[in-house]
Chains A and B, each alone.
Chain A
């Protein structure tokens, strides 16, 4: 079963033969546009790749979202285009500067310079959400997802990009994924796991729901 794309995400040709994901909003990083639509390149976005790979994302559009690991805002800007209130957490100061630029024309995108491993430092700002999107390329990715479970509504979705080479460069990617899934099971029921190749090597997309 290939679930539909959320409302506000479409496939468009951008004048070529191939179809690309697209959302409606102000361009952020020099991506091609077609009228109000701007291209969302799955090779530059783990969530985009999850959509392309047909993940059971459960999003309909308009959801309240907590995005962990927003970096320069490439993906989260697309999320804010189709979602409702979108909270973007990023720990590193430098990429957050670009995230602020992405937030500027998006009144529903709330940037926060916070450490995703310390949810108590932003729980006074972030409300309970329908979806958590996580793309943090550091050790302890699963721990971050587990400790942020407190934000997710009972019927909400976790959309997690696992970078199997973040945990340990030399370890076998399958073993890394297995240990991530084991830790995740402390807080989530994992609905599916799929590779994000050919868009992203050594990455998996995991969909979960609170246990």
Chain B
């Protein structure tokens, strides 16, 4: 039995393409993993028979043993890579976006204060820094330059936001559909990962991001917080304050179900959105004292 390398495998290439095993040494698990992950073929072929013919495997049983080892190992590596990369990337993105926005706002205040002493038209905020950065008449080079940093940071925050909107649906499709990309990313970041979020009870999800208020309450100094970061969701902020507690509880319940589905199953469940919508509609329709 000869073990032929890929370069001289005779007659093994036709228009159906090459099997994953072609050019792979049966003892080289790393090479097999690579071939399974990156290889392509337009059409399937009788790979087991071909592998035996090519000397890759002794017989079909041997081929399936090698295939099992190779697919398991390739898939395990791909899963590990995909999971950690996507999760961490999302968490870092949302933290970086918040940093950019916060620093842009702080610097914009400094710019406004500085400009206020020199110019009559001084305004405030990032919007004003933007007009200043575009204004070629500004004599003070340092002031103009600082305004440009504000604009650059604000642009970076916007770029990070669209990155989050692109990647959140891949990491947590149901959570994103329910809460929006940014809220989904924030919840994952606050919990320390999707897995950790999926394991938290709904009541904890409800107050994630309100830890200070929660601990004040636990020390007996304040009422229990009704909502944490989920306040940014329209279902809570758009509900009359009297019924916000109910809305927050309903939303947190659905969000934690969504996180669990995303972590443990991974398929889309569009019915969650309908259920949440109906529930919130009923809460918002309640009478207000």
A-side interface residues toward B, CB under 8 Å? 69, 71-72, 85, 90-100, 103-104, 107-113, 120-121, 123-128, 136-138, 150-151, 165-166, 169
| Contact B64–A108 (Cβ < 8 Å) | yes
A123 in contact with B71 given A94-B83, A128-B46 (CB within 8 Å): no
Complex contact A107–B262 (CB within 8 A) = no
Given A124-B39, A150-B43, does the pair A93, B267 have CB atoms closer than 8 Å?
no
How far is the CB of B35 from the nearest CB of chain A, in Å? 8
Query: In the complex, are the beta carbons of A125 and B47 less than 8 A apart?
Result: yes
A124: contacting residue among B18, B75, B79, B194, CB under 8 A? B18
Known: A112-B75, A124-B17, A124-B35. 15 other contacts (CB 8 A): A91-B266, A97-B79, A97-B83, A110-B71, A112-B71, A113-B75, A123-B40, A123-B43, A124-B36, A125-B67, A127-B44, A128-B45, A137-B269, A165-B270, A166-B268
C-alpha gap A166/B67 in the complex (Å)? 33
A-B residue pairs in contact (CB < 8 Å), sample of 26: A72-B265, A85-B64, A93-B83, A93-B266, A94-B83, A97-B79, A103-B72, A104-B72, A107-B64, A108-B64, A109-B68, A111-B71, A112-B75, A113-B74, A113-B75, A113-B79, A123-B43, A124-B39, A124-B47, A125-B20, A125-B36, A125-B39, A127-B48, A136-B267, A166-B270, A169-B273
A161–chain B nearest beta-carbon distance, Å? 12
With a cutoff of 8 Å between Cβ atoms, the chain B residues found around residue A91 in the complex are 266
A110 CB → nearest B CB, Å? 4
**Residues of B in contact with A, size category:** 35 or more
Quick one: closest A residue to B61, CB to CB? Answer: A107
Q: Given A126-B44, A165-B271 in contact, is the A71-B82 Cβ separation under 8 Å?
A: no
Contact of A123 among B41, B79, B273 (CB under 8 A): B41
Query: Which residues of A are found within 8 Å of B35, using beta-carbon distances?
Result: 124
Is B78 in the interface zone, CB < 8 Å from A? Answer: yes
User: Which residues of chain A come closer than 8 Å to B268, judged between CB atoms?
Assistant: 137-138, 166
How many A-B residue pairs lie within 8 Å, measured between CB atoms? 119
Chain B binding site: helix, strand, loop or mixed by DSSP? helix
Which chain B residues have a beta carbon within 8 Å of chain A's beta carbons? 16-20, 35-36, 39-48, 64-65, 67-68, 71-72, 74-76, 78-79, 82-83, 86, 194, 262-271, 273-274
Q: Which residues of A contact B82 (CB under 8 A)?
A: 93, 113
B79 near A120: Cβ-Cβ < 8 Å = no
Assuming the A-B contacts A112-B71, A113-B75, are A150 and B263 also in contact, with contact meaning beta carbons closer than 8 angstroms in the complex? no
Bound Cα distance A126, B262 (Å): 27
In the complex formed, the residue of B with least CB distance to A170 is: B274
A127 is contacted by which of B18, B47, B79 (Cβ under 8 Å)? B47
Given A127-B45, A165-B271: A72 in contact with B264 (beta carbons within 8 A): yes
